[in-house]
Structure 1
Amino acid sequence: MTVEGLLVFLLIGAIAGWLAGLIVRGFGFGLIGNIVVGIVGAFFAGWLLPRLGVHFAVVSPFVNSVLHAFIGAVVLLAIVGVIRSV
């Protein structure tokens, strides 16, 4: 992975984690936490969405990646919220 690829990867994770934290109230993890949530969410969505038959045709690959990671991060935060409430 190149340095530029790593920076884009971290940027996508940060954006997705931040957006997911806004949607799922009560989860503010800071910059590093948002990046981790976004990256883990991207991997989770990369595994789950194709199995559900969900595909996106958005304008750019960057927006597509952020959308993918965002959905995974929201699902991840929802699961964490359910586990915390138990």
Structure 2
Amino acid sequence: MKKTITAYCFASGHIDFGATLPEGAIALATGEETIVRDIISVSARLSRYDNETLFVPGVPEAANQREGIVAVARFIQWITKSNQPGFRALGA
């Protein structure tokens, strides 16, 4: 059986993965671990500081929370194009 995980982000736009959704996080996608990590990692943007940390594009640069949540919604719409067996974008 393949491990199921959820990709989620926080208000900062920082993306992480886990078996459960932490309080205050926004779910982005769920599915088989390998597929979710692959799709999210090629769709997200890398941190300019460590070139490893993933962020929702547009959230760190947002002027306010409204712009940030719009960026999250756009990102979810973008990754919805990758829906397939083993991967499902959430909230779209």
Q: Which has the higher helix share?
A: 1
Q: Which has the higher strand share?
A: 2
Bigger RCO of structures 1 and 2 (CA < 8 A, at least 6 apart): 1
Q: Which TM-score bucket, shorter chain as reference?
A: 0.3 to 0.5
TM-score, length-scaled by structure 2: 0.34
